[in-house]
Structure 1
C-alpha cells in the first residue's frame, strides 16, 4: 500500500501556494490523527492547528503515531511548537520558526496564533502573528530601513495587542506617532511574505521532493504514549478479527445492546477488572471498600435499586457494575473482553453483527427513536430506569448507547421487541 502524505494547513499558506503530492486537511485538532487510521510509513506534516475554540492536538496523540512508525513533522505555526517540544521523541521540525522554538526563543502558542476565517472560506488570515512581526522587524533592521528605537517601539505596540486584535488597522492605531514606520512593516509583510508562510511553503516543497522514508523506529512501546482517548480510538477502529468488516467496538456494542444477559456479563467483567485493579478478592462490597467507596447502605437508593435485569443482584453489585471505570476513570471498555464473547465464537459474533447492521447507505433512525426503542428493549419502567439499564450494560451514559445503536437496523430492533425473550 502506498504511504499517505497528509498536511494540516490553514491560514498560514493559501491554497494556490500549496504543492501537489499531499492530502490537505484543515488545521489539526484533537483526535484528527486517530481519525485518519494512519499506518507505519505514512507521513504527516502539521502546519496549523486550533487551540481556542476546539481542543488542541495532544502531545500523546503525536507520540502514539510516532510509536507506530508514522513520520510526523511540524513547521511554521503550532506544528513548529509541537515539533520543538517533541524533538527528542522523533518528531521532525522544519523552518526558522521551529528553530526559534527549539532554541527557547519562542515558547507561547499565542506568538504564532492568528485570527482567521473558517477553512471552508479559504482560511483567510485576519491578523498578524507576533513571530512574523518580530522576524519582519529584524529584516528591516538588517536592511537599515528602521533604526533600533523604531523597531523596539513597533514590537512593543504589536505585543500590547491580543492576537485577535493584531490586524493592520489595529497595528496602525496602536503605533501612534510611529504609524508611518508601522505602515512600512505591514508593506514588508505584504510584499515579502511572513516567516510562517515561507516556512510552510519551504517545508512542503522539501517533503514533496524527498522520497517517503521507511517506517521510523518507534521511540518505545506504544503503551508508553497511549491515553484513554488513544485507546478509545484504537478500539473503535480495530477489526473484530483480521480482515473483518466488523469493528471490535461495534461487536461489543452489538452484545451490549441486544444480548439479554449482558448485564450479568458486564457484572462479571467489572468484578474481575476491579479485583485486578485493587488486588482485592471477594464480594462487590469488599471491592468497593478497597477502592475507597462505602458499600451500599441503602439497597433502594437511586443508583443501587434494581431493574428487570438486575433484580437478583445485591445492591453492592449494582453500584459496582454501574460505576465501574478503567483507570484513569473515563473508559468502561477498551477491548472486547472474554465475558462479552463467552459461549460464542468470533465468527458467530461477526455474523450476528452483520445481520443486525444497517444496510450500506441506509439512514440511521433519529436519536429520540433509538432512545425509545432501547428503553422498551431493556424493559425500563422509567427514564431513570433507562439510565440505570445503560450503565449496567457498560455504557457511560444513554447518549453513548444511542450513538452506537445508530449503526444497527431499526426494523430488526423493532422485531426484537416483538419476539419472545427466549428467541433473542
Structure 2
C-alpha cells in the first residue's frame, strides 16, 4: 500500500491495547458514533474500517452516512463488532465485511445488536471492556468443543445462560454467579479463562487485528459501486457534522450557519432574499396574495406563522411575503437550508470564538452543560438580543424551521448571547 494511503480505524474495546493501531498507515479513532464519518479529513486512496461503535448515550453511525462515504468513493469495511453488523446490513450496498463475526451476521447465526454489545470505559483507560459480549462466549465455546475440551450440550447451556443476562450486566462475576445456580461453574470458568489473549482469545479482537493486517496488505475486496440517492437526511447530517474549516475541532458548517442566523443583524433580510430567489415558478407570485385565504387569519396566528399585530399592520402583499418566507422548505419538505451558503464561510472564525466561550464556561464549572439551559431563558435572552417580543415568528424570519430547532442551535451560543445582552444593558460611564 502506498505511504500516502491511510486506513482510518474506528475501534475501542476490541482493540484496547493492541499494537496494530500503532502500525504505519493506520489512523486510530474512538468507537464510531453518528456524524463521525462526515468529520473525517480524507485523502485520495484512504479507506475506513469500522470495528467498534457506541449507540446508547448517542446515536449510532447511520446507514445513510456509510452510503454517503461510499458515494464519495471511499472504500469502507466492517469487522468484529458494530462494524460487522453494519457490513452485513450493507451487503452489496457499498460496504465490505471481514472476519468470522461478519460471517455469522451474514449467515444468520447472529441477528441482534446485543450479540456484540458490551460496556466499556472511556479513552482514559483505553476503552477497557467491563463486560463480555455474547459473541465472545459463542466463539470460545465453539473452539473448546472443537478441541474436545467441552461437551456440546454444556457449551449450549453456557451460551444460553450468557444470553439470558443483559449485555450491560454480563460481567465475569455475574456469569460465574449465574453458572453456580445452574451447576455450570466449571464450564463457565473454563470459558472465561480462555478469553484471555494468551489463550484462545476474544474473537472480536482476533477479527479486528486480522482486518487491519488484511487492509494494510491490500488484500481486501473493494466494495461494489452502487447508486446512492442524495436524501434530505444526508444533506442535513452533512451540514450538522462536516467541519467548516480544515481544523476538525473547529465549528461545523451548521454551527457557522447558526452563528449567522443568531447574530447577524441583517440575517432576516438575507434569508428573505434567499427564499425569494429560490422559489420555483410553480409558486405563486408574492404580489398575488389571494392564496393566503386558504387559511383563516386566526389559523395563521395559531400556527405561529403570523402574529396578531401583523394581521392589521401589514398589507396583504407583505403578509404573503412573510408567509412564504416562514413556511419555505427545500424539497422534500423538511429543511430550510440543505446546503451551506458559501458567503457565510467568512464567519467561521467568529463562530469558533463564541463557541469557545461555552467551552471555557464548562471548564470553569463542570456542572454546566448547554443542554441544561432552560428554554425560557434561551427565549428571553435572544428576544432581548434581537429586540423582539414576537420570538416565534422572528426565528422563522431568521431561517429556523421551528422554535425547537432555534433552541437546539442556540444553546451552544447562549453564553455569548448573554454577554452581548449584558454589554448592551450596562450603563455607560463618563470620564
Q: TM-score range by the shorter chain?
A: 0.7 to 0.9
Partner of 2:394: 389
Instruction: Give the corresponding residue for 2:268.
Output: 263
Contact kept, 8 Å, 1:307 with 1:389, in 2: the verdict is no
Task: Confirm whether residue 206 of structure 1 aligns to residue 238 of structure 2.
Answer: no
Q: Which residue of 1 is the match for residue 365 of structure 2?
A: none
Classify 1:256/1:306 alpha carbon distance in 2 versus 1 (closer, same or farther; 3 Å): farther
Q: Are residues 1:136 and 2:144 paired? A: no
Q: Pairwise mapping of residues 283-322 of structure 1 onto structure 2 (< 5 A)?
A: 294-297=295-298, 303=304, 304-305=306-307, 312=314, 314-315=318-319, 317-322=321-326
Distance in 1 (alpha carbons) for counterparts of 2:168 and 2:58: 16
CA contact 2:50–2:82 (8 Å) conserved in 1: yes
Task: Please state how far the C-alpha of 1:23 moved relative to its aligned partner.
Answer: 1.6
Match among 105, 114, 130 for residue 126 of structure 1: 130
- Residue 374 of structure 1 and its aligned partner are, at CA, apart by 5.7
State the Cα distance separating 1:218 from its structure 2 match: 4.6
- Asked whether the 8 Å contact 1:285–1:296 carries over to 2, the reply is no
* Distance of aligned partners of 1:389 and 1:402 in 2 relative to their CA distance in 1, 3 Å threshold: farther
Question: Which of 112, 115, 138 lines up with 2:116 in the alignment?
Answer: 112
Counterpart of 2:429 in structure 1 is: none
Q: Deviations over 1:160-202 (max 9, x none)?
A: 1111122111112222211111111111212221111100111
Structure 1 residues 70-219: aligned runs within 5 Å: 70-175=74-179, 176-190=182-196, 191-210=199-218, 218-219=225-226
Q: Alpha-carbon deviation of 1:141?
A: 0.9
Q: Aligned pair count?
A: 392
Query: CA–CA distance in 2 between the matches of 1:177 and 1:53?
Result: 36
Instruction: Supply the distance in 2 between the matched residues of 1:246 and 1:113 (Cα, whole angstroms).
Output: 32
Residues 67 and 228 in structure 2, CA contact (< 8 A), matched pair in contact too: no
Q: Is the 8 A contact 2:235 2:339 kept in 1?
A: no
Q: Does 1:400 align with 2:409?
A: yes
Classify 1:67/1:139 alpha carbon distance in 2 versus 1 (closer, same or farther; 3 Å): same
Partners of 1:10 and 1:90 in 2: how far apart?
Answer: 23
The answer to whether the aligner puts 1:220 opposite 2:227 as a matched pair is: yes
**Structure 1 pair 295–320 and aligned structure 2 pair: CA distance change class (3 A):** farther
Q: CA deviation at 1:124?
A: 1.2
Rounded to whole Å, the distance in 1 between the matches of 2:85 and 2:261 is 42
CA positional deviation for 1:294: 3.4
2:27 is the alignment partner of 1:23: yes
* Partner deviation per Cα, 1:264-315 (whole Å, 9 max, x = no partner): 4434544665767xx44255977778xxx8353367668221789x964655
CA distance in 2, matches of 1:154, 1:397: 52
Q: In 1, distance between residues paired with 2:153 and 2:348?
A: 72
Mapped to 1, the partners of 2:187 and 2:68 lie a distance apart of 47
Q: CA deviation at 1:233?
A: 4.1
Q: Distance in 2 between matches of 1:172 and 1:68?
A: 48
Q: Is the 8 A contact 2:329 2:335 kept in 1?
A: yes
Whether the 8 Å CA contact 1:228–1:330 is kept in 2: the answer is: no
Contact 2:93 2:226 in 1 (8 A): yes
- How far apart are the structure 2 equivalents of 1:311 and 1:264? 19
- Partners of 2:73 and 2:170 in 1: CA distance: 40
**Matches of 1:199 and 1:358, distance apart in 2:** 40
- CA shift, 1:10, in A, is 0.5
Deviation at 1:334, TM superposition (A): 1.7
Please give the alpha-carbon distance, in whole angstroms, between the structure 1 residues aligned to 2:349 and 2:151: 75
In the alignment, the residues of structure 2 paired with residue 251 and residue 207 of structure 1 have an alpha-carbon distance, to the nearest angstrom, of 37
| CA RMSD after TM alignment | 4.4
Kept in 2, the 8 Å contact 1:39–1:68? The answer is no
Structure 2 counterpart of 1:281? 284
In structure 1, stretches of 5+ residues that fail to align are 240-244, 416-424
